[in-house]
Structure 1
Amino acid sequence: MTAADRAAEPAAPASGSTAGTGASAAGAPRARLGAVGLVLGSAFSLQFGSAVAALLFPRAGALGVVALRLIFSAVLLLALFRPRLRGYTRADWLAVAGLGVALGTMNSLFYQAIDRIPLGAAVTFELLGPLVLSVIASRRLISLAWAALAAVGVHLLAAGDFGRLNVGGVAFALAAGAMWVAYILFNARTGARFPKVDGLALAMGIGALVSAPLGVISAGTALLDPVTLGLGAAVAVLSSGLPYTLEMLALRRLPAATFAVLMSLMPVAATTAGFLVLGQHLGPAQLLAIALVVAASMGAVRTSRG
């Protein structure tokens, strides 16, 4: 049992005393608060990794950076978790292959988006994919209110002068959101068929194979530059290794529904990273637009799980 497992377990009550129960009750809120911090840390790590990736675009291009990120991430996850390759059915491999293709395509589309529009805007548009999925899954009238709130946010974001949003960038972000839905669906299937994170590690390898040819064609020998390789490895750690580790630890202490709501804060993390790393400034209207989409996503997630 790891230290994280032990921290998640409540203390056993002392015989004939309520002291142990009180310690457990007092420790539970602290454990949950710590788990919330882990989720937020994961979100900020992922988005700061995306910001660092954007800095690499002049060196290797968006497709080249995607290839580096997924290759290094695959090597990291496969080395850490060493998933077994035997004993799986054809349906199992189809699920993990679908997840890998979704991962590779989603990241390629998203990096194309942040090459054209600010990071905060890209993540906000991308979030619409899971939001639509939550609204459809809910089948409740109130879900239409969340959809309308998101529509107002998107209108404000698109109508404002947010760097005069590039139409192609918005299209890439929306397409990435659609692939995020595919990622969610295939992730659920893969998680049910593979133990621990074996399926994710294998899928990351497949995603790397999907993105590598495009990266090589796009960037060529620029991918072999030592500085580019080093920064690509840093992006992989920030965008994959660290977030996945923090999320695994958080999910041991938080209900899945709470975790999903917290992940809706991704646009806030992205906006912060874009401002601090890339110098992307936002006006009041754009900040309000992002806040509306975040609120709609949180409401839709809570409604779909209510």
Structure 2
Amino acid sequence: MSGRNQTATGVLFALSSIVLVQLGSAVSMPIFDQIGPAGTAWLRLCWSGVIFVAIARPRPWTMPRADLVAAVALGLVTAGMTVLFGEAIARIPLATAVSIEFLGPLTVAVLRRTGRWGLAWPPLALAGIALVTQPWGGVTNVSGVVLALGAGTCWGAYILLTQRVGDRLHGVTGLAISMPVAALIATPVGLAQALPQLDAFVIFKCAGLALLSPAIPYVLEMFALRKLAAATFGTLMSVEPAAALVVGLVILRQIPGIGPMFGILFVTVAAIGAARTDHRSKPDEAIAPFSNRPDGAEV
């Protein structure tokens, strides 16, 4: 496959992942009324753990202790990111939550910046968040904003740990460890919220949601990273707030005002700029950690 075709395929994988993640969030929301956002997140994590274990069949007892600890830590932040984000979108619009959550990966990119241009993006992102939340209007759900910020913090840690785990554990082995751990960690709050109205139908519905997000998107991202430089991939993923805006508008009928629309635009531009100045941008750095084969070669 030519370099141009590889890039086009990688772009398609990345954009498909973005759309599926936002669709997964949107179509999960009706289930919140029955088993709650944390209960929904917990069931999705449970099914994701089953899926990745079935695919990878991990043997944690053979792994170096440091790698296993990193995978467990990844599960911890995955649980926090998933549950907190679910609770956030139950309180504030999807695009608003995604924009706020994006402060996590944007912070990571800025800290790893090359050159001074990286310092220009945080003020632009903060201006965008101010326009999205409009605290001067007194209508912002404070708890929703705090939960989204918590999810963003977990997302930043997730990026760092994913790179660490991806450097050491090939293919989806890391996910086959981290996802069951995430489900276990989310169990106390998720089970308590879901148990009163849990039934077989909603359990199997969450299995479909787990495929929609995160199982299929994570695999698509893995293959996208094999074909794209990290900076290119980061730039593509930076359109998530805009994708959330479109999905929220079409699926959830969440119509933003002019201020929030400009805020989402500011966050997207800041995220793109930060991704382009991230020093971890060489193709070999992005491809090898996520390869399905130990030698990093394409299948």
What TM-score, normalized by structure 2, do the two folds share?
0.88
Q: Does 1:53 align with 2:28?
A: yes
Q: What is residue 276 of structure 2 aligned with on the other side?
A: 302
List aligned pairs for 1:100-179, cutoff 5 A: 100-138=75-113, 140-159=115-134, 164-179=139-154
Q: Structure 1 residue 270: deviation in Å? A: 1.3
Q: 1:46 to 1:162 in 2, by over 3 A?
A: farther
One-letter amino acid matched to 1:286: P
Q: Aligned pairs, how many? A: 280
- Give the Cα–Cα distance (whole angstroms) in 1 for the partners of residues 4 and 68 of structure 2: 40
Structure 1 position 304, deviation (Å): 2.1
Q: CA deviation at 1:220?
A: 1.1
For residues 138 and 6 of structure 2, what CA distance do their matches in structure 1 show? 41
Deviation, 1:161, is 9.3
Q: 1:5 — aligned with what? A: none
Q: Which residue of 2 aligns with 1:98?
A: 73
- SS state of the match for residue 278, structure 1? coil
Query: Does the CA contact (< 8 Å) of 1:162 and 1:286 recur in 2?
Result: no
Query: 1:270: which partner in 2?
Result: 244
TM-score by length of 1: 0.86
Where does the alignment leave 5 or more consecutive residues of structure 2 unmatched? 282-299
Tell me the CA shift for residue 162 of structure 1: 9.4
> CA–CA distance in 2 between the matches of 1:150 and 1:304?
16
Work out whether residues 131 and 297 of structure 1, in 8 Å CA contact, stay in contact via their aligned partners in 2.
yes
Give the structure 1 partner of residue 171 of structure 2: 196
Aligned partner of 2:256 in structure 1 is 282
Matches within 5 A, 1:215-226: 215-223=190-198, 225-226=199-200
Separation in 2 of the partners of 1:289 and 1:131? 15
For residues 60 and 132 of structure 2, the distance between their equivalents in structure 1, rounded to whole angstroms, comes to 46
5+ residue gaps in structure 1? 1-9, 11-23
Which residue number corresponds to residue 4 of structure 1? none
- In 2: Cα distance, 1:262 partner to 1:143 partner: 18
User: What is the distance in 1 between the residues matched to 2:24 and 2:159?
Assistant: 21
Deviations along 1:117-144, whole A, 9 cap, x unmatched? 0000000000011111211221632222
Partners in 1 of 2:75 and 2:145 — Cα distance?
24
Does the CA-based 8 Å contact 1:264-1:297 persist in structure 2? Answer: yes
**Corresponding residue SS for 1:274:** helix
Checking the alignment, whether the CA contact within 8 Å between 2:105 and 2:155 is kept in structure 1 is yes
**Runs in 1 of length 4+ with deviation above 4 angstroms?**
160-163
Give, in angstroms, the shift of residue 286 of structure 1.
Answer: 1.2
Q: Alpha-carbon deviations, 1:165-202, whole Å to 9, x = none?
A: 20100000011101111111111221122122101111
For 1:63, the aligned partner's letter is A
Query: What is the CA-CA distance between 1:268 and the residue it aligns to?
Result: 1.4
How far, CA to CA, are the matches of 1:231 and 1:240 in structure 2? 14
Alpha-carbon RMSD across the aligned residues, in angstroms, is: 1.8
* 246-255 or 154-163, which deviates more: 154-163
CA separation in 2, counterparts of 1:280 and 1:161? 21
Indicate the structure (1 or 2) with the bigger Cα radius of gyration.
1
Amino acid at match of 1:59: Q
Contact residue 118 and residue 280 of structure 1 kept, 8 A? yes
Amino acid at match of 1:82: R
The residue correspondences of 1:237-256 to structure 2 (distance < 5 A) are 237-256=211-230
Return the alpha-carbon distance in structure 1 between the equivalents of residues 233 and 95 of structure 2.
Answer: 21
**Which amino acid is the alignment partner of residue 191 of structure 2?**
V
Asked if the contact 1:56–1:231 (Cα under 8 Å) also holds between the matched residues in 2, the reply is: no
SS at match of 2:60: coil
- Calculate percent identity across the aligned residue pairs: 41
Q: 1:221: how far off?
A: 4.0
- 1:232 pairs with 2:216: no
1:62 aligns with 2:62: no
Partner of residue 36 from structure 1, selected from 1, 5, 11: 11
Distance 1:88 1:163 in 2: 51
- Structure 2 counterpart of 1:278, which letter? L
Judging changes above 3 Å, is the alpha-carbon distance between structure 1 residues 162 and 239 closer, same or farther for their aligned structure 2 residues? Answer: farther
Summarize the Cα distance change of 1:59–1:296 in structure 2 as closer, same or farther, 3 Å threshold.
Answer: same
Maintained 8 Å contact 1:51/1:277: yes
How big is the shift at 1:95?
0.6
